[in-house]
Amino acid sequence: MPRAGDAKYRQIGQDLAARIGRGEFKPGTPLPSQALLSKEYGVTLMTFRQALSLLEGDGLIAQLPGRGTFVTPVPTLDLRSLNSLAEDLLAQGVDLVTVVLSSRQRALPAGVAGALDRTRGEPALRLERLRRIGRRPAVHQVSWVPQPWSEHLLEVDFEVASLYRSLEHRCQLAIVRATESLRARALPAAIASAVNKPAGRPVLVAERITYDARNIPVVHDLATIVDDTIGVLARRAQRGTELSWAAESRGG
């Protein structure tokens, strides 16, 4: 609930976010006009537009010039796809921001080395990224790429470049398949500080190992899903099951 000391536009933003969360305004649909809503809340257009700016910054809405203001569509990440998480979301118009927390050569830890069929302590690229939807932390990712490919990736700006596309273009690798497992875990303290969430809260962790055309493991990726709106959908049929990530609109 809004506090008495909050600015009016913040109170309006919180109320609109709650209405979106309750489903009053559906994902992908336009909000009522700014003139109508500002009148409903009893504020000027300038004050109401400040509230919309907050919601847009949090990834809840998108303001499209000449078309209006729309509730952000529900993004879906298909686990069968070999596209990167960022590519899937950006293709759906999601306001995804990637922040590189670290990108440097490190010694492979035992668990990752085993998954990549390497020796513990070998040098490899350790790429740590935070994916945000607007200003909201959504996914924390740590990717490991062993030698010889890691040396070709040290100068890549991964805030704008895809890891998979960089492996293909810089390392001439053909990415053909991946295995992925999903587990519920408690949020580690080290990640909690990076995403501004309480340590120990339940999160979903996806571990993916990616292989090239020679069936050699080339990437170990650990993605910690820290946004409560992201989940996994299963579509069952007689001949199989389709799995996909999905993120609902967030309220409050």
pLDDT digits (tens, 9 = 90+) for 159-216: 999 899 899 999 999 988 888 888 899 999 999 999 989 999 999 898 999 999 899 9
* Closest of 9, 119, 24 to residue 54, by C-alpha: 9
Q: In this structure, how many other beta carbons lie within 10 angstroms of the beta carbon of residue 48?
A: 23
Q: Looking at the predicted structure, is the pLDDT value of residue 6 above 70?
A: no
ω into residue 2 within 30 of 0, thus cis?
no
Residue 76 confidence (pLDDT): 55
pTM exceeding the 0.95 threshold for the entire prediction: no
For 35, 44, 48, 57, the CA distances from 7, given in Å and listed in that order, are 20, 14, 11, 17
In the chain, which residues fall in CATH 3.40.1410.10?
76-247
Q: Looking at the predicted structure, is the pLDDT value of residue 5 above 50?
A: no
Between these two residues, 182 and 249, which has the higher pLDDT value?
A: 182
Residue 7 confidence (pLDDT): 84
The rounded percent of the chain whose pLDDT value lies above 90 is 48
User: Residue 196 class from Cβ within 10 Å (0-12 exposed, 13-18 middle, 19+ buried)?
Assistant: exposed
In the chain, which residues fall in CATH 1.10.10.10?
8-71
Class (C level, CATH) for 76-247: alpha beta
Considering only 48-62, 101-115, 121-135, 238-252, which range has the smallest mean pLDDT?
238-252
Q: Calculate the dihedral angle through the C-alpha atoms of 98, 101, 105, 110, rounding to the nearest 10 degrees.
A: -100
Name the fold adopted by 8-71. Answer: Arc Repressor Mutant, subunit A (1.10.10)
Residue 248 confidence (pLDDT): 55
Residue 2 confidence (pLDDT): 45
Kindly report, residue by residue over 21-70, the tens digit of the pLDDT: 788 988 778 999 999 999 999 999 999 999 999 888 877 888 888 888 88
